[in-house]
C-alpha cells in the first residue's frame, strides 16, 4: 500500500438527518446528496494522515451495490438471498486493502457509506430500517460484515480462505462479533469460530445456538482467570474446543479433531 486514503465521515447528527428527512421511503442517492448539501457540517475527513478520497468511498459503494444486485436488489429480498449477500460482502470487504488503514475502524466512516451512499441497499437488506443499521457500530449493515471478514480471513495462502465466513450461522456470528471481549481478539474469535465449525460437524447445526450461547459465556468467564489471547495458537484451539465439547456433551477424541489450516498457524 503506497498511500492512505481518507474516507468521508458522517457524524451521528448527519445520520439522523438523512434517516429522518426521507421518512419511510427508501432514500435515493439524490435526496441524500441534497440533505448533505444542506448539512455539510455533518460531513468531514480526518485532518491529516493521508489523502482525502471521496472517490474511494464511491467505488466501495458501487461494488457493494453490484453485489446486492446479484442477490436480488432492489426487487426481491428473502432470507436466503440476504444471507448470501452478507457472505459475499463479508469476503469482499475482508479483502479490501483500502480498508486496512484504520479508517474502517471508525464508526463514522461506515455511517457515511451506509447512510449517504448505500441507504437504499441497507433498506433492502434490513426492511425494518432500524437506525443502528445506518449509524456506525457493531450492528451497522456493513461494518459488522467488514469486521467479520477481516477477523475470520484465514489468509490468501490457506486452502479455503473464507471457510469460517461461509460455515458460521448468523447467530454464531452475532454471538462472537457483538461481544467486544471476543471479537476484539482476532485469535480468540477465530478459535471460537473454528470450534463452532468442528462442534456443529459433530452434533448438527440445529443445536448449535444453545451450545454457542453457553460456550461463549464459559469462554468469557474463563477469560477472567486465564488470558486466553496470550495462549499459544494450538493450545488455545484445544481449550476452546474442550469448552464447546463439554457444553455440547460430546466426547473429546483429541487428537482426532479436524485440523484447521490457517495462513499464520
Partner 1 sequence: MKSMELYSEPFATTGNITGEGFRRLLGRPALGLLQTVIREALQNSMDATLPDQGPTVMLRSRVLRGEEFAALRGRVFAEIPKDADAALLQEELMGESLEVFEIADFGTSGLSGPTRADLVADGPEDPDFVNFMRNVGAARDTRHGGGTYGYGKTSLYALSRHSTILVDSQTTCDGLPVRRLMACRLGGTFAAIEGDVRKRFTGRHWWGSLDGTSGVEPFSGDEAIRLAGLLGLPERSAEATGTTIMIVSPRLDEEDDEDERLPVGPHLLETVLWNFWPRMCRDTPCHRKLSVSIDVDGQNVRVPDPEDYPPLDHFARALSDIRSGGGQIVRSQRPAMDLGRIAMVKGLRSDRNPAALRADSPFPKQASHIALMRPVELVVKYVEGEAFSDARFEWGGVFVCSDDDEVEAAFADAEPPAHDDWIPDNLPKGRSKTFVNVGLKRINEAARTFAIPLSASGQSEERGQSLATTATLMGRLLEGGSAKGPGRRSGGGGGGTTKRTRVSSPRFSRLEIDAGRKVAVFEADLSNDGRSPDLVLRAVPHLVMDGGIASSDDVDVGFTGQVLDLTVADATEPGESMAIGTMAGRVVCRVPVPDEAAIGLRLSLEEAGT
Among the listed residues 180, 204, 206, 251, the single contact to partner 1 using CB under 8 A:
180
- C-alpha 62/C-alpha 57 separation (Å) is 9
**Contact (CB, 8 A) for 152 and 146:** no
DSSP string covering 179-225? -HHHHT-HHHHHHHHHHHHHHHHHH-GGGHHHHHHHHHHHHHHHHHH
- CB burial of residue 23 (10 Å; 0-12, 13-18, 19+): exposed
| H helix or E strand, kind and range, residue 17 | helix 12-21
DSSP string covering 124-152? HH-TT--GGGTSSSTTSTTHHHHHHHHHH
Residue 262: strand, helix, or coil = coil
- C-alpha 87/C-alpha 168 separation (Å) is 10
- The span of 19-27, 70-78, 163-171, 219-227 binding partner 1 (CB under 8 A) equals 219-227
Please identify, using beta-carbon distances, which residue of 24 and 41 lies nearer to partner 1.
Answer: 41
Q: What are the C-alpha distances in Å from 46 to residues 4, 10, 57, 213?
A: 11, 11, 14, 39
Please identify, using beta-carbon distances, which residue of 13 and 58 lies nearer to partner 1.
Answer: 13
- The 10-49 contact track toward partner 1, x by CB under 8 A, reads -------------------------------x-----xx-
DSSP string covering 41-77? GGEE--SSSSEE-HHHHHHHHHHHHHHHHHTTTTT--
Min CB(195)–partner 1 separation in Å:
16
Please identify, using beta-carbon distances, which residue of 88 and 241 lies nearer to partner 1.
Answer: 241
Please identify, using beta-carbon distances, which residue of 134 and 177 lies nearer to partner 1.
Answer: 177
Tell me if 222 contacts partner 1 by CB under 8 A: yes
Tell me if 214 contacts partner 1 by CB under 8 A: yes
- The 73-112 contact track toward partner 1, x by CB under 8 A, reads ----------------------------------------
- The span of 18-26, 102-110, 214-222, 248-256 binding partner 1 (CB under 8 A) equals 214-222
- C-alpha 186/C-alpha 134 separation (Å) is 25
Tell me if 242 contacts partner 1 by CB under 8 A: no
108 to 167, contacts with partner 1 by CB under 8 A? none
Tell me if 263 contacts partner 1 by CB under 8 A: no
Among the listed residues 81, 101, 169, 181, the single contact to partner 1 using CB under 8 A:
181
Please identify, using beta-carbon distances, which residue of 81 and 223 lies nearer to partner 1.
Answer: 223
Tell me if 207 contacts partner 1 by CB under 8 A: no
Positions touching partner 1 (CB under 8 A) are 41, 47-48, 179-181, 213-214, 217-218, 220-225
Amino acid at each position: 500500500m503506497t498511500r492512505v486514503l481518507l474516507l468521508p465521515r458522517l457524524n451521528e447528527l448527519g445520520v439522523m438527518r438523512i434517516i429522518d428527512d426521507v421518512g419511510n421511503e427508501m432514500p435515493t442517492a439524490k435526496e441524500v446528496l441534497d440533505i448533505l448539501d444542506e448539512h455539510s457540517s455533518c460531513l468531514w475527513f480526518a485532518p491529516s494522515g493521508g489523502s482525502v478520497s471521496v472517490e474511494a468511498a464511491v467505488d466501495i459503494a458501487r461494488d457493494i451495490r453490484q453485489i446486492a444486485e446479484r442477490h436480488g436488489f432492489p426487487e426481491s429480498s428473502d432470507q436466503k438471498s440476504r444471507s448470501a449477500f452478507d457472505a459475499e460482502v463479508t469476503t469482499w470487504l475482508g479483502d479490501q486493502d483500502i480498508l486496512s488503514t484504520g479508517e474502517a475502524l471508525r464508526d463514522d466512516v461506515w455511517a457515511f457509506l451506509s447512510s449517504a451512499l448505500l441507504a437504499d441497499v441497507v433498506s433492502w437488506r434490513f426492511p425494518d430500517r432500524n437506525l443502528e443499521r445506518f449509524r456506525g457500530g457493531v450492528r451497522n449493515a456493513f461494518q459488522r460484515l467488514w469486521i467479520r471478514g477481516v477477523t475470520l480471513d484465514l489468509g490468501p495462502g490457506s486452502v479455503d480462505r473464507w471457510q469460517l465466513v461461509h460455515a458460521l450461522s448468523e447467530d454464531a456470528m452475532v454471538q462472537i462479533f457483538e461481544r467486544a471481549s471476543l471479537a476484539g481478539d482476532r485469535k480468540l474469535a477465530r478459535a471460537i469460530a473454528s470450534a463452532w465449525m468442528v462442534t456443529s460437524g459433530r452434533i448438527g447445526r440445529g443445536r448449535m445456538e444453545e451450545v454457542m450461547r453457553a460456550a461463549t459465556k464459559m469462554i468469557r468467564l474463563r477469560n477472567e482467570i486465564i488470558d486466553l489471547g496470550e495462549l499459544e495458537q494450538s493450545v488455545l484451539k484445544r481449550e476452546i474446543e474442550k469448552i464447546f465439547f463439554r457444553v455440547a456433551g460430546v466426547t473429546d477424541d483429541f487428537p482426532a479433531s479436524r485440523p484447521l489450516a490457517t495462513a499464520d498457524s
